[in-house]
Amino acid sequence: MILDIRYWKLVNLEIRKLKKFLSFAISQFLFVVLFGILWSNHVQAAILYTSTANQVVFDQATFITEWYLDTQDDEINSVALNLTFTPETLEVLNVTPADTGIDLWIKNPEEDNERGTISLIGGISSGVKDAKVPLFRAVIKPKQVGKGKISMDTSSAVLKNDGLGTPATLVFNEISFNINPADARPALVGSPTHPQQDEWSKNNKVIIQVMPKPGEQYSYSFSSNIEMIPGDLPSDVANSLTFDNLADGIYYFKLNSKAAAGNWQEAAVYRVMIDSTPPQPINAAVASDPSVFDGKPFVSFTGKDQTSGISHYEVRFGVGPWQKTNDTVLRVPGLVLGNKVEIKIVDQAGNEEVTKVALPKAQSTPFSNWFFSIIIIVVLLLTALAVFWCKKLITKYRIK
């Protein structure tokens, strides 16, 4: 009997220890779960996303993608992106930085169609916290029918504006889409005023022409808002549609169609790019530095165009010819006929802006002095030539 009592006491003691252990384990488990829930609600990730006017993609028909960053309430100041795409089915015609957003470019957005990549590195001097930070614009052309895909490489990163450059999580949902045959487009849309969708134009009057199919109804929208879509009320598209006095920007004519008993569906998207404004004035200066061009004078300049971007520069020293260049630092020739250098900036639409900079006296000769010097030299040469021929004629026809 005594043994039984001792036995039950020991069992009771073990049960109490087991209860304490279970109580401790359950409390720790609940703590971990609660902490995880709170942490998951606190931790946020910056989101890279894109917007396009096209819902359906067709072979050989270019489309534009606008790229943005949602900082998710974090303030960030640096972005490094490395995107990959399928080079066998897609070709990136060009990428251009957004007008606002990143203001310090370490590496401008650039494409590599052989490797199938788009890359950039940039910063925001004062930091930014926004749901829609513009990054860049890409014009993409499908090369063949098949699958298109755009992904983000794991080397992409954003840094917080916290004085430490703390990395923030960056996420991007991979884009995958079908590339349909070119002849599968439901309707044909064109423009006699803007026949090339991939080219910028100065003309701010747009005429759109639609070739409707019998038995179909159409609805359209025309806007610089890439997300605008046509309404559900049918519109008359048999005649030309005119849009006048348009501001600079990219416009999208979106056409929806439906059969008698069908639903509305995307029929066509036509893009018009307008830039009627000259580039901003050029910042230019003539200087010299022992480490540049062996200390000889050079001209340096920078330009910017808000809408279509810079096509090229042209430079003229004195009264010499205009020379096309993509360089922004040029050595001044040893002797210039004239006293100035002119720099012309030309944007993608053909708008021009010209800036003049005075040259140092050692590098220039006043045009008036040169002009009269040349006249005197020419007169002396002609006089000498006339005297020579006169002597020759006298010698030849002298009567002996």
- The tokens of 375 are what? 């006249």
| Cβ–Cβ < 8 Å for 367, 294 | no
Q: Mean pLDDT throughout 370-375?
A: 56
CATH class for the region spanning 46-182:
mainly beta
Higher pLDDT, 17 or 359: 359
* All structural domains of the chain with their residue ranges: 1-43, 46-182, 189-272, 283-365, 371-400
* Of the candidates 274, 286, 284, 288, the residue with the CA atom closest to the CA atom of residue 354: 284
pLDDT score for 2: 45
pLDDT, mean of residues 149-164:
92
This prediction has a pTM of 0.69
Query: DSSP secondary structure string, 384-396?
Result: HHHHHHHHHHHHH
Position with higher pLDDT, 318 vs 334: 318
What is the mean predicted confidence (pLDDT) over 43-63? 85
Which residues have a Cβ under 8 Å from the Cβ of 249 and sit 6 or more positions away?
224, 273, 274, 307
Residue 7 has pLDDT above 70, yes or no: no
Note the pLDDT tens digit of each residue in 270-307: 999 999 999 988 888 888 888 888 888 888 888 888 89
pLDDT: which is higher, 349 or 380: 349
Question: Mean pLDDT for the chain?
Answer: 83
| CATH topology identical between 189-272 and 283-365 | yes
Which of 3.40.50.460, 2.30.110.20, 2.60.40.10, 3.40.50.800 would CATH assign to domain 189-272? 2.60.40.10
Distance (Å, rounded) from C-alpha 97 to C-alpha 93? 14
The hierarchical CATH code for the domain 283-365 is: 2.60.40
Sequence-separated (6 or more) residues with CB below 8 Å from residue 166: 159, 160
Of 390 and 259, more confident? 259
Mean pLDDT, to the nearest integer, of 220-236?
92
Percent of the chain at pLDDT above 70?
82
